[in-house]
A = this chain, B = another copy of it.
Amino acid sequence: MSAQKPTPQDLSAQIASDIRDAIIAGDLIVDQRLPSEAELADQFSVSRPTVREALKRLAAQNLIRTQRGATGGAFVNRMSFEDAYGQQITTSTLLLSMNSVSFETACEARYALERACAPLSAQRRTPDHLATMRAEIVRQGQTGLSDEAFCASDVAFHRALVDGAGNPVLSYQLAGAVEAMQPLMNMITYTQRDRDRIIALHTQIADALEARGGAQTDDTLAALGEYTQTLARQAFARRGHSADHG
């Protein structure tokens, strides 16, 4: 009966919640202009700085954009796929780096999700997607490529695979899984032999997609996932050893 949440929330957080709810509920539609900061301050009976803090919270979530000038103000933002990508990647990256998620768990999730794209990508990939993948494979074979650059190319390869499915929602969901893995992948040192093996598997995947072989793609992805897990286990075993000696 009393207050479950008396005032654990700041005013700016409450106001942000109110406006956010209105946007989600559709009471505020895309590109609609919110009242000016002064008006909002009046409506909520708070000061303008407090309103501004609330608006900044919403802006941080890409829910609104602001523009200054005579006809300026805060406008409900159409959440773009690009915005969503960015948030997804930031969130996923931090989630993985801060929660002692094992490489194994993250890797399993990534390859499970990616395999979900395989049949669709085999069906719909365009020559563009294939070209991107082939180009990344070539890059991965270059001598003198740093491990970091190798991983970046790996990510680009896999993004092309995912995008090949031609489903932007899928691409968005996968963005986090693929990109957030990169920092973890960077912790591995790749020998030339490792790279050769990965490149061979990438080539198999590209070939399978070119031949519209969904099942083949899926199998090869599974193999690549397994191989990645093996590499990681070796890397961490080595690290564990040197830790013992350090």
Contacts and interface: CB of A to CB of B under 8 A. Distances in A.
Q: Give the number of copies in the complex.
A: 2
Interface of A: 12-13, 16, 20, 23-24, 26, 30, 49, 52-54, 56-61, 63, 78-81, 84, 87-88, 90-99, 101, 105-106, 108-110, 112-113, 115-117, 120, 165, 167-170, 172-173, 176-177
Nearest to A107: B169
Given A16-B60, A56-B53, A95 B109 contact: no
A110 B23 CA distance: 24
Contacts of A30: 98
Given A57-B60, A168-B101, A94 B79 contact: yes
Given A24-B90, A112-B167, 15 more contacts: A12-B56, A24-B94, A53-B56, A54-B56, A57-B57, A60-B61, A79-B91, A79-B95, A84-B95, A87-B91, A88-B88, A105-B168, A109-B170, A112-B170, A173-B177
Contacts of A167: 105, 108-109, 112
Contact of A60 (B26, B58, B173): B58
A169 B106 contact: yes
B84 A91 contact: yes
Contact of A23 (B91, B94, B95): B94
A168 B112 CA distance: 13
Contacts of A54: 56
A108 B101 CA distance: 28
User: What are the 7 closest A-B residue pairs judged by CB atoms, nearest first?
Assistant: A116-B116, A57-B60, A109-B169, A60-B60, A109-B170, A112-B116, A53-B56
A171 B25 CA distance: 25
A10 to B, nearest CB: 8
Contact of A105 (B16, B56, B116, B169): B169
18 contacts: A24-B90, A24-B94, A56-B57, A56-B60, A57-B60, A58-B60, A60-B61, A61-B87, A61-B91, A78-B99, A79-B91, A79-B98, A80-B99, A84-B91, A105-B167, A106-B169, A112-B167, A116-B116
